[in-house]
Structure 1
Amino acid sequence: MKFVTEEVLEGHARATRRGAIEGTLAGLALSVPASFALHRRWAYYRSLPITIKVLGVVLVAAPAFAVQAERRGVEFDKSQWTGIEKEELDREQSEIVARWGDMSVTQRIGDWASRHRYELFFGCWAGSMAVSWMLLRGNKTQSFSQKIVQARVYAQGITLVSLLGGVSLLHMQSRNKVKEDPSAHSWARLLEETPIDSRTPGVKAAIHA
């Protein structure tokens, strides 16, 4: 077992900072030119307050910042895996891939949705907010702030429905799950395959207790 050192922590921090910079630059490289293009070609976009335009840029750059920072951190963690721990994690990943291959299309969709439910909830909220705004922007009887509030209410309602659907999906999966999680007892298999001489004194004492 490899203990975390100051060098490892610093390396993880550097990788995370690198990912944060990459994500921010990528998000800005996408959102800023898009904002300028909309400003040049769409009269309605030019009439929007600068705060709304900045918010649009932030809504693209902020998720890119967070996602890429986490990706770089995870990549660094995986690069530190060595020995039997790495073999066990690789074996668990192979079992997950094999189980995915045995699933039907419906099961794959459900499994993917359950593992990416937070991204789906956020995407559903953002998409419903955009669609609601597109439908309400032509209403001449409401002010800009009233349209924003109404679009947000619609988006919250749609997101609540999707949230309830996600909870129902997780409940159905937990009831229909017949295979045991391969990582549930991976520690026991890892202990069996670890030579006794290489175990730490604490582990040896726990085994013989």
Structure 2
Amino acid sequence: MKVISKEEEREHYNEVLKGGLIGGGVGLALGLGGVLYGSKRYAAFRQLTLPFRSFIVTSSGTFGAIVWAERYSVKYQRSHDPMNNYLNAQHQAQELARQQAKTESEKLMDWGRENRYSIVFTSWIASMGLALAMVGKNKYLSTAQKLVQARVYAQGLTLAVLIATAAFETADAKSGKGRWETVMVLDPNDPEHKKLIEKRVHKEEYEGQDLWKDMVAAEEKRLADQKKQREQLDKQASKAPAA
């Protein structure tokens, strides 16, 4: 466990406070703008109680403050953790080669797989807003009926997204993704670093989980190179003519 100083603790607190203020301000602005627009545009929205509309504004600000404070906290911790920036040249080249070998559709699928739960939440929010806009035009429904009907529409779209997410989960379980993946990496025996070979690698559950493995591999490679250099020097010394 790393022991932080009072100065680092104060800097971290200031960064978290800064992120919270920025996120809270943006969230409040978006929430207030959304409420004002909804009140002006939709009659059903104007029938909502003032406490409920106030809750929408304040919850938007709270959500923004929490998210951005967390981001600034993680960013500060990563920037002050020397282990986080440890990546040898071979690892960087392998990651670059893997990304370049993927097609655009594969990159899109990977993005959807990694952000599946965020997509579910965002789709529910978006579908709820879209459904409210659609049913808000119906003059023959009460506010309660419009909310119920909008929720049904939103649940239908969210269910479709959940089914797609379940398909991702099933595919990952069958292929072993999420734990181990077969990827294309640079051949360590290729001096030009152009040849790609298949390698089964462990997918980290959190960033830096397998960092120690990279450090051990890099140290072993350094020791092996030193040993090889010593052997070459010994051979050259043995072949040199005696003075």
User: TM-score under structure 1 normalisation?
Assistant: 0.72
Aligned residue among 176, 187, 190 for 2:215: 190
* Alignment partner, residue 3 of structure 1: 2
Moved more, 72-81 or 186-195: 186-195
CA deviation after TM superposition for structure 1 residue 33, in Å = 4.1
* Alignment partner, residue 63 of structure 2: 63
Cα offsets for 1:47-74 (capped at 9, x unmatched): 4432443344245434322321121011
CA deviation after TM superposition for structure 1 residue 172, in Å = 2.5
Q: Quick check: 2:42–2:136 contact (8 Å CA) kept in 1?
A: no
* Alignment partner, residue 129 of structure 1: 128
* Alignment partner, residue 142 of structure 1: 141
* Matched letter for residue 108 of structure 2: I
Separation in 2, partners of 1:169, 1:74: 28
SS at match of 2:133: helix
Separation in 1, partners of 2:5, 2:152: 48
* Matched letter for residue 162 of structure 2: L
* Alignment partner, residue 198 of structure 1: none
Moved more, 173-182 or 141-150: 173-182
* Alignment partner, residue 224 of structure 2: none
Separation in 2, partners of 1:164, 1:6: 48
Aligned residue among 166, 182, 185 for 1:178: 182
Question: Which structure dedicates a bigger proportion of its chain to strand?
Answer: 2
Relative distance call for 1:89 and 1:35 in structure 2 (3 A) is farther
SS at match of 1:28: helix
Cα offsets for 1:82-108 (capped at 9, x unmatched): 2x5522399767654542232111111
* Alignment partner, residue 50 of structure 2: 50
Q: Quick check: 1:85–1:190 contact (8 Å CA) kept in 2?
A: no
CA deviation after TM superposition for structure 1 residue 166, in Å = 1.3
The gaps in structure 1 that reach 5 residues or longer are: 196-209
* Alignment partner, residue 104 of structure 2: 105
Cα offsets for 1:146-205 (capped at 9, x unmatched): 32123223322321221221121243355274222475744233135469xxxxxxxxxx
* Alignment partner, residue 201 of structure 1: none
RMSD: 3.3
Number of aligned positions between the proteins: 192
Separation in 2, partners of 1:23, 1:90: 36
User: Percent same amino acid among aligned pairs?
Assistant: 24
Moved more, 72-81 or 96-105: 96-105
> Which of the pair has more CA radius of gyration?
2
Separation in 2, partners of 1:90, 1:122: 38
Separation in 2, partners of 1:38, 1:146: 18
* Matched letter for residue 28 of structure 1: L
Separation in 2, partners of 1:38, 1:148: 14
* Alignment partner, residue 207 of structure 1: none
Q: Quick check: 1:92–1:182 contact (8 Å CA) kept in 2?
A: no
Separation in 2, partners of 1:90, 1:144: 61
User: TM-score under structure 2 normalisation?
Assistant: 0.64
SS at match of 2:86: helix
Question: Which structure dedicates a bigger proportion of its chain to helix?
Answer: 1
